[in-house]
Structure 1
Amino acid sequence: MSFLKRGNPMSVFLPNGSTVSIAASYDAPIIFTAITNASEAVVSSAGHDLEAGDLVEVTSGWARLNNRVVRVKTATADSFVLESVNTLHAARFIAGAGGGSVRKILAWVPISQVTESSKSGGEQQNVTYSFLEEDDEHQIPTSKSALSFTLTMADDPSLPHKNVLLEADDDKLPRAVRVNLASGGVIAYNAFASFDNVPSLTKNNIMAVTAVFAVVAKFIRYAA
């Protein structure tokens, strides 16, 4: 008789070897006429040219979908499926109100020579209350604080990411950011980029520049 407990094994991963890219160009918007309430939303768009695996930026009347960067799971001539986009909750995703468009990301530029990555925000916020007749306080979760992350890069003005980051800093338009994890999988963000291209000058340390990405919509992580 065996007394070993069986279950799913746990794993830990290192970020070493992961890569980051930023969107350099987009295709023209593709209008969609309908989107379903489903465990993975199906979008109707006659004559679109999207293929499975494409990453797209979504503009939608559904606030919980608007501005997200998602991956096309499957595609037919007149429809495509948004991978891992669950729109079943009818109160959050009101039927008939999710119309909009998608933009396919055509080109990515790697953000290379990253020496450090840090994250801020994303913490759960709460409202605290207490009734007159009570001695104790209670909390109800509300929203989460705004999320941003910072990349520190070894300074090299000849690298292609410099011009893309400078343009994003100047035009104040969101850009898709893709993280390819060394352990497998992809994280897709949509964020405003602020680029400080004045290098640090600290003795005995490499010269470095920083880019801050203010995330504008909930990210999606794909397994592969």
Structure 2
Amino acid sequence: MRAKVAAILMVGLLIAGCSDPKQAKLPANMAEWSEDQGLKDALSKLSDGEKKLFIGYATRLALASAFGGNKAVSEMTIDDALKSQQAWLDEKAAEQEKQRLLTEQVEQQQLAALKEMNATLTVSLVELKLNPKDYEQRKYSDYFTISLAFKNNTSEALAGVKGTVVLKDMFGDIIKRIRLADDVQIDAGQNYLYQGTMDFNQFKDSDTKLASSNAAKLQFEWEPDTYIFVNGKKQIMPN
């Protein structure tokens, strides 16, 4: 009697095990998956979420095989495939979160540095002008002259500044970006007038647009890069 009960229980367990679609084995050759009726029947019994996971797994496997990977699976069930795909998704999500946190950290550092550097130095556009060629000044083509006012707002002397002049039209669209570095000393609390020149290239859209722009309507921005103080201290904008 006990033997019969045990046998019945064993059969029941086997039937229950076979009824779990996730225990269905995947054909070793992926090319046979679409033709395997048992696999198709098992997949049809999965929930929508599980079906999505399996499709993701199959897609990854197919892409890997397309780039020289092995598309054969050995002793693998649907459940194994679902767990593999979920683990891959979890790892991907964790990496994306790490990248998001790093981006957020860098942005916070940049904002803090920008606030500090803007407090250190005030920069304004005094004049921008297109000038005709001047052979006496060895200017053999038209050229721009630009004047900038720098104000050292600190109690320490600056030994040099580097940054980018950004010139925009009245709508805020960037016309030209100009890298600038000057090693002149700007004493504590003092002003300094920078005057420089730039070649005019008639074949560059940025130059022709700048030349034809109304200087009074230009928008000016200064993007700080590096400030070096006489005492060796530095303020640097994080990348």
TM-score normalised to structure 2 length: 0.19
Structure with the higher fraction of residues in strand conformation: 1
Structure with the higher fraction of residues in helix conformation: 2
TM-score normalised to structure 1 length: 0.20
